[in-house]
Amino acid sequence: MKYEILIDGKAAALSVAVERFEYRREGCTAIERDYSAAPAGDGTWSILIDGRSYAVAILGAGEVSVNGRLFHVDVFDPRELRGRRSAADHDGPQAVTAPMPGRVIRVLAEPGQEVAAGEGLIVVEAMKMQNEMKSPRAGRVAAVRTAAGATVSAGDVLLVIE
């Protein structure tokens, strides 16, 4: 899973897979590590990274304690329609990405086409459900980077809006 996160106001990207994660703060080199996590009680987890143990407590309202140190954490799932900034506030090209692995069923837009905010662009089938990817804002389709029948992974760029 890929997430955009803010830790004490600092933006970063976090990719989590089974027993492996990658953390990349804006402007910094990525950190990749193996990990294991086990529940340790009410909202508390024991996380082991490179032989070092961390006691993590989810306190609610975006607060997390790691070995007694308090952090304010906001997590944004790219599969959700919301993000750190609304699409209307976004300048420049904006990518429309696959929310999960699946297969492209239909491409409803073509390069150069003008689209309205909320207009259907691409239909992706995942877990036997069809999901229509909609335009996050009004604009022009700059590029279509997939085709009907293509297999896509979560986060793959399907189309770019200008």
CATH code: domain of residue 13: 3.30.700.30
Tell me if 64 sits within 8 A of 8, measured CB to CB: no
Specify whether 11 is located in the same domain as 65. Answer: yes
Mean per-residue pLDDT, 40-66? 87
Q: Is 95 among the domain residues?
A: yes
In this predicted structure, the answer to whether residue 49 has a pLDDT above a threshold of 90 is yes
In this predicted structure, the answer to whether residue 140 has a pLDDT above a threshold of 90 is yes
User: How many CB atoms are closer than 10 A to CB 142?
Assistant: 14
Specify whether 17 is located in the same domain as 65. Answer: yes
Specify whether 27 is located in the same domain as 61. Answer: yes
Three-state secondary structure readout of the chain? CEEEEEECCEEEEEEEECCEEEEEECCCCCEEEEEEEEEEECCEEEEEECCEEEEEEEEECCEEEECCEEEEEEEECCCCCCCCCCHHHCCCCEEEECCCCEEEEEECCCCCCEECCCCEEEEEEECCEEEEEECCCCEEEEEECCCCCCEECCCCEEEEEC
Q: Is 85 among the domain residues?
A: no
Residue closest to 53 by CA, chosen among 66, 43, 62, 65? 66
Q: Is 82 among the domain residues?
A: no
In this predicted structure, the answer to whether residue 15 has a pLDDT above a threshold of 50 is yes
Q: Is 13 among the domain residues?
A: yes
Q: Tell me the pLDDT of the chain averaged across its residues.
A: 84
- Domain with 97 in it: 90-161
Question: Which stretch of 27-36, 75-84, 96-105, 153-162 has the lowest confidence by average pLDDT?
Answer: 75-84
- Domain final residue pick, 76, 109, 128: 76
Q: In this structure, what CATH number is given to the domain that contains residue 113?
A: 2.40.50.100
Q: Is 139 among the domain residues?
A: yes
Q: What pLDDT score was predicted for residue 80?
A: 59
Q: Is 107 among the domain residues?
A: yes
Angle at 159 between CA 158 and CA 162, to 5 degrees: 155
Specify whether 12 is located in the same domain as 50. Answer: yes
- The string of pLDDT tens digits covering residues 68-117 is 999 988 887 666 544 444 444 455 678 888 877 889 999 999 999 999 98
Q: What pLDDT score was predicted for residue 92?
A: 67
Which of the two residues, 89 and 146, has the higher pLDDT score?
146
Q: What pLDDT score was predicted for residue 83?
A: 44
Q: Is 84 among the domain residues?
A: no
Q: What pLDDT score was predicted for residue 52?
A: 93
Specify whether 72 is located in the same domain as 102. Answer: no
- Confidence band (pLDDT; 50, 70, 90) for 33? very high
Q: What percent of the chain has pLDDT over 70?
A: 90
d(CA 140, CA 117): 11
Specify whether 29 is located in the same domain as 70. Answer: yes
Mean per-residue pLDDT, 2-7? 84
Specify whether 121 is located in the same domain as 149. Answer: yes
Count of domains observed in the chain:
2
Tell me if 126 sits within 8 A of 96, measured CB to CB: no
